[in-house]
Structure 1
Amino acid sequence: MLIVPERDIADLMTRAAAFEAVEQVFAAMASKDAYNFPVVREAIGHEDALYGFKGGFDRAGLTLGLKAGGYWPNNLEKRGLINHQSTVFLFDPDTGMVRAMVGGNLLTALRTAAASSVSIKHLARKDAKVLGMIGAGHQATFQLRAALEQRDFEKVIGWNYHPEMLPNIATVAEEAGVPFEAVDLEGMREADVIVSITSAFAPSLLADHVSEGTHVACMGTDTKGKQEVEARLLAKATVFTDEVAQSISIGEAQHAVAEGLIRAEDVAELGAVINGTHPGRSSDDQITLFDGTGVGLQDLAVAASVVDLAVEKGVAIEVDF
């Protein structure tokens, strides 16, 4: 078995490699060459933690495995650790034997950012100039760096439940040479692209906060009850997702479907746009929304890529398991 420790991931995995892995696996999912297993996601009744498993099988890439982990909200304050903790396990699809164990914390941030970045590439207007950020935590910085690579943005605007955290994303924008401005939620009407990355259970972004022609990437809702945006926004938008089953059960679409505002049939796969079997954006005044629920295949794709890189560079640890 090969081990790629968390400490080595930053030197191996780039945003470009994560983007390519996620884009390819979304395409494979849409063409039915890859599928995800049902998600296990539980509140464990200890440390307010959410813990679970996401897995799947990519026939095209012969990638089989799972990610185990979740969200420990007290980690940063109590222990100086990031709140999201996870590990990816890969198996040989021919034999079932374990192939690799890979640190999943940085990979989770990179693959989540890559997913919204892929959605911006394929769904945002080409002339998008203002990028809106809702959320300013650890993962928001990854989201912002990845999003800035997809269009020639001239300005970043941001809002967060805790305004004192906004310097986290302001610094990233300024490092990229793009001015940053803190706004209230009504100020999001200026944005051409909005990325929301919070762990909220009540919506902050309302339908009236989003202008015509905007692309919205909702990246924080991955559990029953979580909600970042008003359900009415999904009724106004053309909705895309990583996987429809997750979108309507644990993603942002769960609320719009429950309220009868949209049907499961109204949610399209982003992979179909990548494959060219769905037209994607059809006009400059259309609101598009990507419901990024975070599928296991994303984790497996980036983990498999990083294992290959670790072997190539001679840094993978081999143990007799």
Structure 2
Amino acid sequence: MHTGVSDTDQERPMLIVPEREIADLMTRQAAFDAVEKVFAAMATGDAYNFPVVREAIGHVDALYGFKGGFDRAGMTLGLKAGGYWPQNLERHGIINHQSTVFLFDPDTGRVSAMVGGNLLTALRTAAASSVSIKHLARDDAKVIGMIGAGHQATFQLRAALEQRAFEKVIGWNLHPEMLPNIEKVAGEAGLPFEAVELDGMAQADVIISITSSFDAILKADQVSAGCHLACMGTDTKGKQEVEPQLLARASVYTDEVAQSVSIGEAQHAVAEGLISESDVGQIGAVINGTDPGRSSDDQITLFDGTGVGLQDLAVAAAVVELAVEKGIAIEVDF
């Protein structure tokens, strides 16, 4: 998609899509399609991410940074600015994660859109794991396991349930009192929910981990042959959700290899010499058909979802298009 100003339309205004409009505009399917396309473009070299900037600003314990990139296939250029303000909820009654996406015309460099990024971040993260389930999970997957039951886990589960004919949801969380969050989503889908200990994850055909853990939660022997895992919580040096030995057992795929081995789940397995960088494949190559992906029903597959700026740009461009179609994009002379 090209959201920018064309050479023949120099007066086109900047478009604003406020956070309040995103929920009524952006569907899970639109997010899925945008993320799937950009992963495919990354694998062919048509899209690339810029180096991530992330800094502690020395004020109210906030982390602030930028993720950006350019998708030549979709003609999408821009960045997401934002971060984590840990005191927001308590002090101001707003969520701790705050972000805004800015899109630019790749032909001229002029700003073309500003888009609220909070809900989009949740949708694009859920879309990434959902894309991995579509392309790597067994067709006959019946039981989905959730490790983590926070706000993001509900987005993850809703998106995942659309990819297979699941018959049961199981869940584990460090704080069990949060499990009703995902039990409610299972109930909305008409599926039974069972709280399990981690050993109970052996019954899962698909497992999504979405925590902020710095210690391995899931052990290699708690995963059954044929399972597909989407590890979505590890996006910083030191974070870890699963035992490194699990990656040695699995066929590992990711959104961006450089991030996977440096700040993603693969960082620990690589550091321990259990796998090398060359063992980590791109999910986009599976989408494109240049990597076969799953080759047997016994194979364990693992998607290391580190989160890339191109995902944010793809869903932001899609939501701008939807806002223009519905006539609710705010136009500003800039």
Q: Which TM-score band (shorter chain)?
A: over 0.9
- What is the deviation of 1:50? 2.9
- The AA in structure 2 aligned to 1:54 is K
- In 2, Cα distance between equivalents of 1:193 and 1:298: 23
Which residue does the alignment assign to 1:282? 295
Contact 1:41 1:223 in 2 (8 A): no
Partner of residue 115, structure 2: 102
- Indicate if the aligned counterparts of 1:207 and 1:233 stay in contact, CA closer than 8 A: yes
Q: Which residue of the partner structure matches residue 11 of structure 1?
A: 24
Secondary structure class of the residue paired with 2:174: coil
Q: Which amino acid aligns with 1:216?
A: L
Other structure's SS at 2:187 match? helix
Higher mean alpha-carbon deviation, 111-120 vs 77-86, is at 77-86
1:149 Cα shift? 0.4
Match of 1:168 among 161, 178, 181: 181
Matched, 1:225 2:238: yes
Partner of 1:314: 327
Letter in structure 2 aligned against 1:33: D
What residue ranges of structure 2 are gaps of 5+ in the alignment?
A: 1-13
User: What does residue 180 of structure 1 align with?
Assistant: 193
Separation in 2 of the partners of 1:197 and 1:316? 32
Pairing partner for 2:138 from 100, 125, 149: 125
Moved more, 172-181 or 37-46: 37-46
TM-score normalized by the length of structure 1: 0.98
CA deviations over 1:74-122 (Å, ceiling 9, x no partner): 3334433222211101011011111111000110000000000000000
Tell me whether 1:253 sits opposite 2:269 in the alignment: no
SS in 2 for 1:170: helix
Deviates more, 1:123-132 or 1:76-85: 76-85
**Structure 2: distance between partners of 1:228 and 1:50:** 21
SS at match of 1:284: coil
Q: State the AA in 1 paired with 2:277.
A: A
Does structure 1 residue 305 correspond to structure 2 residue 318? yes
| Helix, strand or coil at the partner of 1:204 | strand
The letter for the 2-side match of 1:58 is: D
Structure 1 residue 136 corresponds to structure 2 residue 149: yes
Per-residue CA shift, 1:183-223, capped at 9, x if unaligned? 11111111110000111111111111111110000011111
How far 1:271 sits from its partner (Å)? 0.3
The share of aligned pairs that are identical, in percent, is 84
Question: Is the counterpart of residue 236 in structure 1 residue 244 in structure 2?
Answer: no
Mapped contact 1:130–1:157 kept (Cα < 8 A): yes
- 2:9 alignment counterpart: none
1:24 aligns with 2:37: yes
The AA in structure 2 aligned to 1:256 is: A
Aligned length: 321
Q: Amino acid of the residue matched to residue 49 of structure 2? A: N
What is the distance in 2 between the residues matched to 1:96 and 1:197?
A: 36
Q: CA RMSD in A?
A: 1.1
What runs of 5+ residues in structure 1 fail to find an aligned partner? none
SS of the counterpart of 2:38?
helix
Q: CA deviation at 1:39?
A: 1.1
Match for 2:113: what amino acid? A
Distance 1:107 1:221 in 2: 19
For 1:223 and 1:318, how far apart are their aligned partners in 2?
A: 37
Say which SS state the counterpart of residue 168 (structure 1) adopts: helix
TM-score under structure 2 normalisation? 0.94
Instruction: Report the counterpart of residue 283 of structure 2 in structure 1.
Output: 270
Distance 1:138 1:310 in 2: 25
**Over alpha carbons, which structure has the higher Rg?**
2
Name the amino acid aligned to 2:254: T
Structure 1 residue 47: deviation in Å? Answer: 3.7
Helix, strand or coil: the match of 2:83?
strand
